[in-house]
Amino acid sequence: MQQKDYASQIHRCFRCGYCKFPTDYSSFNCPSYRRFRFDTYSTGGRLWLIYAWLKGEVEWSEHLAEVLYTCTTCKNCVEQCPMKFAPDIVDWIVGARSDMVEKGKIPPRVARFFEAVYGYGNPFKQLRSDRAAWSNGTKRYASGDEYLLYVGCLGSYDENGQKMARSLVDVLNASGVSFGILAEEEECCGNEIYMLGETGLFQNLVEKNSQKFKELGVKKIVTLSPHAYNTMKNIYPALGGNFEVYHYTQILNDLIKNNKIKPSRAKAKVTYQDPCFLGRYNNIYDEPRQILQSIPGLELVEMERSRRDAFCCGGGSGNFVTDLLAGSADSPARIRAREAYETGADTLAVACPSCLTMLTDAVKTENLDDKLAVKDISQILKEFLSAK
């Protein structure tokens, strides 16, 4: 929560353009720059425009707000920027967004995102009573359970996310681990709200979630989404929410290593999309791959850009709902779908419900859906458990 300093530091960007690239400079790795190609949509462009806005050299406009909000906060720029301030870049963007929120100057789609989360506890304006409609009788969290499974908004309401949640529940049940969900009592984790700059609403969500977790005696949380994992692990503690937080791939990998889950033989060629909030934000690159490689007969192939150079699906910072990067063959998810297909894989594995929904849609738009399946790692694992 150091965004408030951004105004005194943001002039330090030289707009050198390293932020646009992956490590080997082979292509453009900033999702919004790759989509729009005006320099304004790169991190350097954004930081210069924010500074101009602060100095009064550029007036606020919907276009300025759109430039600011098309950043998916994927952290590629943080990886590539050669300057000492690199780790602060996302905080600066979030800080500027916070100022825009305070002034009520945000794109309408972002405003609707906030209204939905504020009014319904999710960005889809779905009823709270339907939050567990996916769960098919999944056990509610009770004192003594080892883990709280935090499903999140996409897992609760999005069709693809729901399938992912059900698979994960089935795999966890098969492993014998004790866990439960919050069902209708679950709130939005707030990661997107934080990244979009709605500080007040974010704090409110953290307080509600933390209080609920404490009331129930939750010690360990396993999240479906890397976005929830990121916010609960890295941002909640500063606001009093101290819990042991895991992403589900960490748990599944441990269960496999401890022989609690034994995948059967498969015949599949799979490539894997590193989610930004798992990889670049939390340095979790190996566990998802180890799960896939634990499946006998599964061949894991890498896309040209992977791990810290992975190309974002375009869904971060609420873009899986606001969709500010859509509408073009240059939309990040469509580019990524084509890259996955070029590996020769028959399956594109993901570990994030946002990636799942963005890439599933992109594969369909690219007419690749009969050639490339998009599946979450828990779905892949479940398939080969069922075959046992």
Q: How far is the CB of 216 from another protein (least distance, A)?
A: 46
- How many C-beta neighbours within 10 Å does residue 136 have? 11
Residue in the structure block whose two tokens are 């098919």 = 136
Residues in the chain, total: 388
- How many C-beta neighbours within 10 Å does residue 221 have? 25
For residue 89, give the nearest of 235, 281, 233 by alpha carbon: 281
Q: Are 17 and 297 in contact (CB under 8 A)?
A: no
Q: Return phi, psi of residue 94, to 5°.
A: -65, -40
Q: How far is the CB of 59 from another protein (least distance, A)?
A: 7
- Closer CB to another protein, 20 or 308, in the complex: 20
Q: Is the dihedral of CA 315, 113, 163, 360 positive or negative?
A: negative
Return the residues of window 301-360 that contact another protein according to CB under 8 A: 328
State how far the Cα of 171 lies from the Cα of 221, in Å rounded to an integer. 16
Q: Are 164 and 130 in contact (CB under 8 A)?
A: no
State how far the Cα of 171 lies from the Cα of 177, in Å rounded to an integer. 10
11 binds another protein (CB under 8 A): yes
Which of 61, 211, 264, 283 is the binder for another protein (CB under 8 A)?
61
- Closer CB to another protein, 45 or 263, in the complex: 45
Part in contact with another protein (CB under 8 A); list of ranges 32-40, 100-108, 114-122, 220-228: 32-40
- Closer CB to another protein, 66 or 145, in the complex: 66
3-state secondary structure of 116: helix
- Closer CB to another protein, 63 or 364, in the complex: 63
Part in contact with another protein (CB under 8 A); list of ranges 54-62, 179-187, 201-209, 246-254: 54-62
Which of 2, 4, 5, 52 is the binder for another protein (CB under 8 A)?
52
3-state helix, strand, coil in the chain (%, to 5): 50, 10, 40
4 binds another protein (CB under 8 A): no
Part in contact with another protein (CB under 8 A); list of ranges 42-50, 206-214, 236-244, 270-278: 42-50
State how far the Cα of 10 lies from the Cα of 133, in Å rounded to an integer. 45
Which of 57, 102, 115, 342 is the binder for another protein (CB under 8 A)?
57
Q: How far is the CB of 283 from another protein (least distance, A)?
A: 21
Which of 3, 6, 21, 314 is the binder for another protein (CB under 8 A)?
21
Which of 58, 174, 216, 326 is the binder for another protein (CB under 8 A)?
58
Q: What angle do CA 54, 39, 103 make, to 5 degrees?
A: 30
Return the residues of window 79-98 that contact another protein according to CB under 8 A: 82-85
Residues contacting 22, CB < 8 A, separation 6+: 29, 76, 80, 305, 309, 311
Q: How far is the CB of 141 from another protein (least distance, A)?
A: 47
Q: Give the residues lining the site for another protein (CB under 8 A).
A: 8-9, 11-18, 20-21, 24-27, 36-40, 45, 48-49, 51-52, 57-59, 61, 63-64, 67, 82-85, 328
